[in-house]
Structure 1
């Protein structure tokens, strides 16, 4: 790859760059069904890329190995993978995988009648473990809704109230998915539920700010000021909600970006250091080695060796 950064696409741009890949695109939404050519479909994600959209993959049969943020996941029958905007996604292998794929951009959420704020805690649940295992009946219900959306797009573009019908199906799908994801949460004891909800909201806001500023800001104090709380309080609540400190999350974001740039881009180590707002290559090298146990150059050589 000759890009200077990890490629980032909208859904329409993804289709433009992969015109032969099967699927239906309409108004910030992308759908692919099992009967479409699975081999061509994988072309969409052959290389590491950021897709500025949510993607929900429901595996009907077979399996697929997918790399998200340098973590490898396998989806198989009756499992769901949820990809969120700004994650780095790559398809690394399929074993006769067949399934359903629904992608939608953030602006589509703004067009439907749905409680987006209420979805926050549910999305947090899949933040670190994006693969969900569901019952065959739950899988069939979600598959049926995706097929209904695809049918509406393919056959009813000229029908009265087409957009309203489409948004209703989409709302129904999201609520059904969130209901399934939330099922386990309801079985857990709701101790200090209001405090937990407040902490989760802070955590959600912290992660939003981090995704926007991690390239330039690495201090806990900066993010605490963005949330109008003290650094100590931010550290305490982030640890309580996620099991990791705020500083840990900051370092993980920076190192993730550094690893991907070193592995996939044509940037030199010095260019990566400046891109991530380090004062110089030496400072970046010490930071990287402290976090990973190896120098940037050693990491880059290791990845080339693994790919040879």
Structure 2
């Protein structure tokens, strides 16, 4: 995908990047997964992104975690997540929806349980769907596309919302099943790891010390390190550095902020220290990366 000056993935951005059926900047339907504007460089998702893989495979990162998608997998990327290094096999086929978050919330506002279930997908962004569920989503997608393309239909927005809500019910039924099983099987170590990642996500811009995170979790740094390594095969420092490096890459590539301003924003003591940190983790200086 060509590099652009856009800082985030929105419905408006996606509509400009690729052809698809859409209603203003509320919702965009793409009948080919290959058309989706998923980037190589870090980009923040400012809409809700849903996709169903029908054939082939794809790989991508969300917030430093790699995901592999195969036929029957449902992808959910929430607003605020950072995605990058996306690649697809030559035979990859699928469908996708990019939906404005306000439009999404308006659509599900009458059903509080759906919102709570969808939050679960923040930590489970890839879900395997039974064939009958995947077929339902695909068929509903086709009907939604027909209605979106009926530009003279006075009620097309309401019709699309109604059909999208039926899709959300089906997705949340799967989420509910997965959540129920996870609640039964979840170990203390997995619970600590989940809490640790949530803390990192919310605080990595100002805190990079493992000791700070262990204090918030009321456990020792050693126990936190052993637990995180056992569950994820990565150390707490690896996770923290991944979040920081990803944010630095995004700020350098997608903003006009000076390196000094970026250093202040991410709580580095000075510009020189940021430069050493970035080169250690990326292999080049911030200036070289910005020019590359």
On whether the aligned pair clears a TM of 0.5, the verdict is: yes
Between the aligned partners of 1:169 and 1:8, the Cα distance in structure 2 is: 27
- Is the counterpart of residue 32 in structure 1 residue 30 in structure 2? yes
Q: TM-score scaled by structure 1?
A: 0.67
Q: TM-score scaled by structure 2?
A: 0.70
Provide structure 1 residue ranges, at least 5 long, that are not aligned to the other structure. Answer: 192-198, 224-230, 287-294
1:131 to 126, 134, 146: 126
1:235-254 correspondence runs (5 A): 235=217, 252=239
Between the aligned partners of 1:251 and 1:278, the Cα distance in structure 2 is: 18
1:297 to 260, 279, 289: 279
1:275-290 correspondence runs (5 A): 275-281=265-271
Between the aligned partners of 2:115 and 2:246, the Cα distance in structure 1 is: 31
Secondary structure of 1:152's counterpart equals helix
Conservation of the 8 A alpha-carbon contact between 1:65 and 1:73: yes
1:107 Cα shift?
Answer: 0.4
Between the aligned partners of 1:113 and 1:2, the Cα distance in structure 2 is: 34
Secondary structure of 2:152's counterpart equals coil
Conservation of the 8 A alpha-carbon contact between 2:7 and 2:44: yes
Counting matched residue pairs gives 266
Alpha-carbon spacing, 1:249–1:86, altered in 2? closer, same or farther (3 Å): farther
1:171 Cα shift?
Answer: 1.3
Between the aligned partners of 1:211 and 1:250, the Cα distance in structure 2 is: 13
1:119 to 106, 115, 120: 115
1:172 Cα shift?
Answer: 1.2
1:210 Cα shift?
Answer: 7.5
Alpha-carbon spacing, 1:260–1:59, altered in 2? closer, same or farther (3 Å): same
Aligned Cα root-mean-square deviation (Å): 4.5
Alpha-carbon spacing, 1:94–1:46, altered in 2? closer, same or farther (3 Å): farther
Between the aligned partners of 1:268 and 1:300, the Cα distance in structure 2 is: 18
Conservation of the 8 A alpha-carbon contact between 1:58 and 1:78: yes
Alpha-carbon spacing, 1:254–1:46, altered in 2? closer, same or farther (3 Å): closer
Between the aligned partners of 2:237 and 2:104, the Cα distance in structure 1 is: 28
Alpha-carbon spacing, 1:154–1:8, altered in 2? closer, same or farther (3 Å): same
1:79 Cα shift?
Answer: 0.9
